[in-house]
Amino acid sequence: MSDQQVYTDFKDDMTYADYLSLDQLLSAQNRLSGHHDEMLFIVIHQVSELWMKLIIHEIQAACKSLINDQFEPAFKQLARVSKIQEQIIKAWDVLATMTPSEYIEFRDSLGKASGFQSYQYRLIEFSLGYKIPHILKIYQQDQEVYSVLEKAYQNKGLYDIAIDKLSQAGFSISEGLLNRDFSKPYEKSEEVKAAWSEVYKDSQKYWTLYQLAEKLVDLEDWHQQWRFRHMKTVERIIGFKKGTGGSSGVNYLKSVLDTYFFPELWELRTEL
């Protein structure tokens, strides 16, 4: 396209900035302290929230695809989630350029606000089956957010749907597991591990389920790297201080590193 063909008159047409609501987006970085590095802190967290919005969008789509036995679209959606997770991990590298001396200059401006309160992060955890009852209390003041979270809290997660697929493929999964209380954290099952083990032992026969299992492992692998990078960034900047939201900070972040969404898929690797 030559320069003469580039559109320049947008009096009656939508522009790039209009489409992306850039006026609203780029005016949302409101520093409370005026400190230079607070801009970095805000932007990194806003970017992460945008990526999380897309993660939720893709996981929800993948769940619907699996329910409808549309495995290939689900694989594409889950693969995209893993790529997004990679981007969020890289964001911690940028935030880690901020030193403790710089952060303490504006940390008090945050008050009790904390990334621990991110409802989108909780929605991701709920969709993957990690459900802790007291977490919901944080969001009771916002009924709209609370309703969204409570629905996800009560519903099947991605792994529950994957287990349904094992049952539908003929593997022996008890009714008690298939119709369990989905508001409770998933607990590993020997029958589920036995089913996945057969899938891995005869991957050609169960190729679709084998691919699904590997997509789930990819997703959890990246999520654990995300958790680890978050923990090390926090330790690098504030050490073992309590978080602004009242959490134990690094100690809490370390404790969840040992939490698995899909435990059987990791355990069977030792036994194959």
Does 244 show up as a binding residue in the annotation? yes
Does 134 show up as a binding residue in the annotation? no
Does 45 show up as a binding residue in the annotation? yes
**Chain-centre distance for alpha carbon 249:** 19
Cα-Cα-Cα-Cα dihedral of 255, 260, 263, 269, to 10°? -80
Amino acid at 48: S
Q: 263, 236, 255, 249: which is closest to 95 by C-alpha? A: 236
Does 159 show up as a binding residue in the annotation? no
**In the block, residue with structure tokens 């970095």:** 40
Q: 260, 107, 122, 95: which is closest to 192 by C-alpha? A: 260
Residue pair 71/212 in contact by the 8 Å Cβ criterion: yes
Does 97 show up as a binding residue in the annotation? no
Does 57 show up as a binding residue in the annotation? no
d(CA 160, CA 76) in angstroms, rounded, equals: 19
- Distances from the Cα of 119 to the Cαs of 106, 126, 128, 146, 182, in angstroms? 23, 10, 14, 9, 19
Does 99 show up as a binding residue in the annotation? no
Residue pair 109/38 in contact by the 8 Å Cβ criterion: yes
DSSP count for the chain of H helices, then E strands: 13, 0
Binding site, annotated residues for substrate: 41-45, 103, 107, 244
Binding site, annotated residues for heme: 230
Binding site, annotated residues: 41-45, 103, 107, 230, 244
